[in-house]
A and B are shown apart, each in its own frame.
Chain A
Amino acid sequence: MLRKILLNSSKTFAYATRSYSTAAQLKTKEKYDLYAGVLIERLPIITKKLNELETEVLEMLKKIEFENSLKSDHELRKEKDIRQAELIKSGKLDKDSETEAVSLQTAQDFEDASNEELAKFLTAPRITEDDKKNNLKSLNRKLDDALMLLVDEKIGNDSRLLLPQGKWLEGETLRQTAERIVREKFGTDLKVQFYGSAPVGFYKFKYTSSQNESVGGKVFFFRAIYKSGNIPDSKLKYEWLSGEELKGKVRDSYYKSVESFCTF
């Protein structure tokens, strides 16, 4: 009886050990293959364009800030120069004695020179050439969006555009599988930074044609950021797509599993 009390107390502590039971029948479990998938993102390079409301609000806030602000050094100098010039013009001030303030470059001159320099400065275009050509293989498009790498994976007889994935092999961790996939598919030139060893997403699929004993596969996705390097121009069909483009090119069921970590 004492033995029963102490053994039963293990249930209240929610212990992990399983009791051996020879009488129970083991349920036939479906076997799934384990895959590791990688989301390689190229982070956005420029910030997004402000919409109408945002630009209006920004303009208004700028005006309010300007009205509430005090005069800057440059503005004070400009006013002082104007006053001095007027005094010299009207003859009230001796030109030679007050030369310490009349520097080689007046405030107005400085302002003009600065404006000229600004006009000469060319900003890089927001919409690049690759944007216009819609070159999906290039990284130089959609600079304000995060681009994700998708490859043509062979599934059964047909090939589909998916996040790169590969089968897990014995003796390695899932993260090591993910790193191996990146090396194998894209070569050693592509440098990525993996974000942690914990997967960020999950997708389950069933094989159309039965292979060995497994019914299907379960993919665990890992997050990685593109650092540098190029994908060698091989027969590999890949695309760098943004969130909205991804939605259109991938199956609904796949998108459902993937959108939680893909779209930011």
Chain B
Amino acid sequence: MLRFSTQIISKNFLSNVESCIINNNIKRFYASLYNPPYLELMKKKHPTYDVINVKMTGYDFTVLESYHKFVHKIAKSLDLEIEESWAHPPKKTKIIRYKPNSTNIEAEYSLTAYERYIQLADVESPIYPVFLRFIQAAIPEGIKLSVVHHTDLTEESRYVPDKELLDLKAQLEAAGGPLKTRK
């Protein structure tokens, strides 16, 4: 019935504005005829940030974890898509204080800096500043918050390199490399 109607409607019959309205309505009808309506409805109404990482670092492990939980809760309550939520291996630093003008150790401190990440996907641009201000308002002491893009380096530093494997590989290289022919 609609195909017949498009044939009989010509530009001479209707004004430009009216023919525009009709064409658009026909397109919309066709779009929703074979596709489910939720595909259109699920699209975000504002421009989005693709993928952002909320990074939290701190020396106090318990406080950091509870803040990580809090940020997760806030993101969930704001209906943000939480892709992943992970921890990086801790970075250990040793600080040695020497007695003046000597190499005698006066005090030794070993600190571990822990890292937690939350990855959010498709954050709408008007919502993101609200979310950020919210989590900034509740930062506990000693936690450093930063929002970064996801890079290859972040992904690589997530894993602890296998020392044994690397040692064996180095030994193999030193011995002359792997066998080129099959046994």
Decide if A and B are genuine partners: yes
Across-interface contacts of B18 in A (CB, < 8 A): 3, 7
Distance in angstroms from A15 CB to nearest chain B CB is 7
Q: Judge whether A117 is part of the interface by a CB distance below 8 angstroms.
A: yes
Across-interface contacts of A113 in B (CB, < 8 A): 107
State the interface size on chain A (CB cutoff 8 A): 22
Question: Given A7-B18, A198-B126 in contact, is the A43-B25 Cβ separation under 8 Å?
Answer: no
What is the chain B residue whose CB lies nearest that of A3? Answer: B14
Interface SS majority for chain B? helix
Question: Given A6-B5, A7-B22, A17-B21 in contact, is the A196-B28 Cβ separation under 8 Å?
Answer: no
Counting residue pairs across A and B whose Cβ atoms lie within 8 Å, the total is: 48
Across-interface contacts of B22 in A (CB, < 8 A): 6-7, 10
Question: Given A13-B28, A43-B136, A195-B132 in contact, is the A2-B5 Cβ separation under 8 Å?
Answer: yes
Task: Give Cα A52–Cα B22 distance, bound, in whole angstroms.
Answer: 69
Task: Give Cα A196–Cα B28 distance, bound, in whole angstroms.
Answer: 33
Across-interface contacts of B9 in A (CB, < 8 A): 2-3, 6
Interface SS majority for chain A? loop
Q: What is A's interface to B at a CB cutoff of 8 Å?
A: 2-3, 6-7, 9-10, 13, 15, 17, 20, 43, 46-47, 113, 117, 146, 195-198, 223, 264
Q: What is B's interface to A at a CB cutoff of 8 Å?
A: 5, 8-9, 13-14, 17-18, 21-22, 24-25, 28, 107, 125-126, 128-129, 132-133, 136-137, 140-141
Q: A3-B14, A10-B21, A196-B128 are known; give 14 further A-B pairs, CB within 8 A.
A: A2-B9, A3-B9, A3-B13, A6-B5, A6-B21, A9-B25, A13-B25, A15-B24, A17-B21, A47-B140, A47-B141, A117-B107, A195-B129, A196-B126
